[in-house]
């Protein structure tokens, strides 16, 4: 049993209502309760009936809100949902305290099985990319296509920007960081995140920045926020060290679904140089590189990401009969 699978003793069952989660125009939120697990799901009604389902999985420290722009641009080709992973967004911590990549993947699988939504067009960013890779490898019946944006797959030489994430995984560091940054405002924290995650933070609109600050203020009131971050970071580090059939690169080789890979040239968290290795690992892959993008291309360049996905649909014939005849 890995350290991320130990029983969770800190605020695991505390689910305070600290403020409303932002909902973009046309979006809906709902809560789905499974045994030992509650997931917040963001959806956008499709442009018409009969479109194939899609599921979007965010990265470390993110939420389903990260996908709002892309969901809007793809509402005419998929029936899209974005999930808040356990402990993130508006989803409370899992009862078992399992924040490992496998634990997050298990939550996604349980949700898809319970909702009978598979096979889906599965999207993942960063941690969500690692989770989506594991889901596609172990449950190919649930995945129609796979779109990975800066997936957190193991690297021998970790990016300098990713070092704080690795340090956060160490026992006690999250508490130390919390004390050290107690005086930081939500605005300062958001600016730091955007400097790290965006190729060009100036692309963020004033409204987008205000929304991010509002969400940061909400999250900082959650008693489990830093614990979920630390345990999920530890889950990524542990996944990087796994070998054999459970290693993420080995599982990438097992993925059968047509795969679209998207990497940013200014990504400070996932190395741009990993793009070619990923393209070789996934057996049915195509690669899009965006030289000016950072770690969250779906937020910086949603039009380019949407175009790549549409091309994936056209190339693989993955559209439904209804969509193909439109």
Q: What is the DSSP string of 129-176?
A: HHHHHHHHHH-GGGEEEEEEES-----SS--GGGHHHHHHTSTTHHHH
Residue 12 within a domain: no
pLDDT on residue 163: 43
Q: What is the pLDDT of residue 178?
A: 57
Q: Which has the closest alpha carbon to 47: 77, 23, 69, 82?
A: 77
Angle, CA 245 vertex, CA 108 and CA 313 arms, to 5°: 50
Residue 13 lies in a domain: no
Distance CA 2, CA 235 (A): 9
Specify the pTM: 0.87
In a domain, 10, yes or no: no
Q: How far apart are CA 13 and CA 97, in angstroms?
A: 10
* Residue at 52 is within a domain: yes
* Residue numbers of the domain that contains 186: 28-324
Question: How many other CB atoms sit within 10 Å of the CB of residue 199?
Answer: 21
Q: What is the CATH number of the domain that holds 70?
A: 3.40.50.1820
Is 231 part of any domain? yes
Question: Which among 99, 107, 127, 104 has a CA at the least distance from the CA of 3?
Answer: 99
Residue 16 within a domain: no
Per residue of the chain (326 residues), what is the pLDDT tens digit? Answer: 233 323 333 334 444 455 678 888 899 999 999 999 999 999 998 989 899 999 999 999 999 999 999 999 999 999 999 999 999 999 999 999 999 999 999 999 999 999 998 899 999 999 999 999 999 999 999 999 999 999 999 876 555 554 455 444 445 444 555 555 667 888 998 998 999 999 999 999 999 999 999 999 999 899 998 889 888 988 888 888 877 778 999 999 999 999 999 999 999 999 999 999 999 999 999 999 999 999 999 999 999 999 999 999 999 875 443 343 33
The answer to the question of residue 104 being in a domain is yes
Query: Is the residue at 18 inside a domain?
Result: no
The total number of structural domains in the chain stands at 1
pLDDT tens, position by position, 142-152? 999 999 999 99
């Amino acid at each position: 049993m890995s350290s991320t699978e130990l029983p969770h003793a800190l605020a695991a069952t505390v689910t305070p209502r600290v403020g409303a989660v932002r909902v973009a125009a046309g979006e809906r939120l709902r809560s789905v309760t499974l045994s030992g697990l509650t997931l917040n799901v963001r959806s956008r009604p499709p442009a018409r009936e009969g479109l194939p389902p899609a599921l979007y999985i965010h990265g470390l420290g993110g939420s389903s809100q990260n996908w709002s722009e892309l969901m809007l641009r793809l509402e005419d080709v998929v029936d899209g949902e974005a999930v808040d992973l356990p402990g993130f967004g508006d989803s409370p911590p899992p009862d078992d305290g399992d924040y490992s990549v496998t634990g997050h993947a298990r939550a996604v699988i349980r949700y898809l099985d319970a909702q009978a939504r598979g096979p889906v067009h599965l999207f993942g960013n960063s941690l969500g990319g690692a989770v989506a890779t594991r889901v596609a490898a172990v449950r190919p019946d649930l995945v129609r296509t796979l779109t990975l944006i800066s997936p957190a797959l193991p690297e021998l030489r970790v990016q300098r920007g990713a070092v704080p994430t690795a340090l956060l995984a160490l026992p006690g560091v999250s508490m130390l960081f919390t004390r050290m940054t107690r005086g930081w405002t939500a605005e300062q924290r958001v600016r730091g995140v955007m400097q790290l995650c965006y190729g060009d933070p100036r692309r963020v609109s004033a409204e987008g920045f205000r929304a991010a600050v509002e969400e940061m203020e909400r999250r900082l009131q959650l008693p489990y926020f830093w614990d979920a971050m630390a345990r999920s970071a530890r889950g990524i580090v542990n996944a990087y060290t796994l070998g054999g059939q459970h290693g993420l690169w080995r599982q990438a080789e097992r993925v059968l679904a047509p795969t679209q890979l998207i990497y940013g040239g200014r990504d400070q968290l996932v190395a741009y140089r990993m793009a070619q290795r990923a393209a070789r690992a996934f057996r049915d892959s195509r690669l899009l590189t965006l030289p000016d993008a950072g770690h969250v291309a779906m937020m910086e360049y949603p039009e380019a990401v949407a175009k790549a996905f549409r091309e994936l649909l056209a190339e693989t014939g993955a559209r439904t009969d209804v969509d193909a005849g439109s």
